[in-house]
Amino acid sequence: MNLSAPTEFQQPLDQTIALPRPTLHKASVWRERIELVLLIVLVFTVVNLASMRFYIEGPSMQSTFYAGQFLIVSRAHYLLTEPQRGDIVVFDAPGDDNRTNNPLLIKRLIGLPGDHIVVENGQVYVNDVPLNEPYVHYDPGENLFRCGGEYCDIVLEENQYYMMGDNRNDSNDSRAFGPVDRSRLVGEAIIRYWPPADWGIVTRIGYPD
Mean pLDDT over 197-201 rounds to 87
pLDDT in tens, 106-121: 999 999 999 999 999 8
pLDDT score for 95? 79
pLDDT in tens, 85-95: 999 999 999 97
Single-letter code of the amino acid located at 56: I
pLDDT in tens, 132-164: 888 887 765 566 788 888 999 999 999 999 999
Backbone φ, ψ for residue 175 (5° rounding): -65, -25
Measuring CA to CA, which residue among 125, 132, 86 is closest to residue 107? 86
Interatomic CA distance for residues 112 and 114, integer angstroms: 6
- CB-based contact 72:126 (threshold 8 Å): no
On the question of a cis peptide bond just before residue 12, with omega within 30 degrees of 0, the verdict is: no
pLDDT score for 160? 98
Q: Which residue segments constitute the domains of the chain, with CATH numbers given?
A: 54-201 (2.10.109.10)
Q: End-to-end alpha-carbon separation of the chain, Å?
A: 88
Interatomic CA distance for residues 133 and 124, integer angstroms: 9
Mean pLDDT over 186-208 rounds to 82
pLDDT score for 142? 65
pLDDT score for 11? 55
Q: How many CB atoms lie within 10 A of CB 44?
A: 10
Q: CA angle 102-108-112, nearest 5°?
A: 100
Catalytic residues: 60, 107
pLDDT score for 49? 54
Q: How many CB atoms lie within 10 A of CB 168?
A: 22
The rounded Cα 29 to chain-centroid distance in angstroms is 39
pLDDT score for 7? 55
Residue 207 CB burial class (10 angstroms; 0-12, 13-18, ≥19): middle
pTM: 0.75
